Every structure is written in C-alpha cells, then in structure tokens.
Amino acid sequence: MLEDNRDKVEAMTAALMEYETIDADQINDIMAGLPVRAPKPRQSKITPTKDTGSSDADTSATPAPQPAAKT
C-alpha cells in the first residue's frame, strides 16, 4: 500500500518538514494529487483573561477598605 502511494507519502513528508503540521485540507489536497498549500492561520482557542497583577504591577494602588470592627 505504501509503495502504491509513495508519491503521496513523500508529499506528506515534505509538507510536514516545511510546515511541521498539516491540516485536513492539506491532506485532502495531497491525496487528490494537488500541490501542497500553506496552512491556514491558526485561531487561538485561548481566551484572554483579566490581568491579576504581576511583579511589574503598579504598587501605588489604594488597598481595599477593611470591614469595620464590631463594638
């Protein structure tokens, strides 16, 4: 089977060497005998989070008020 599809295996190898990963559309193109195209830009699935501060944070902020003591 590999010998029968050696051209496709070599095309996938070349695409992986160039792009490191290939997507389903690229595999479908290779299997159809089409030239390998560049991958689509990846969309990040990571959603931005609110900055919780860091060592570079502004230290001049006023601290939150503390509850009044019960008398």
Q: What is the pLDDT of residues 7-28, one digit of tens each?
A: 999 999 999 999 999 999 999 9
Using alpha carbons, list the distances in angstroms from residue 9 to 2, 26, 59, 63. 7, 13, 58, 63
pLDDT of residue 70: 72
Query: Considering the entire predicted model, what is its pTM?
Result: 0.54
The answer to whether the CB of 29 falls within 8 A of the CB of 37 is yes
- What is the band of 53 on the pLDDT scale with cuts at 50, 70, 90? low
CA 67 from chain centre, in angstroms, equals 45
* Residue scoring higher pLDDT (48 or 11): 11
pLDDT of residue 12: 94
- What is the band of 66 on the pLDDT scale with cuts at 50, 70, 90? confident
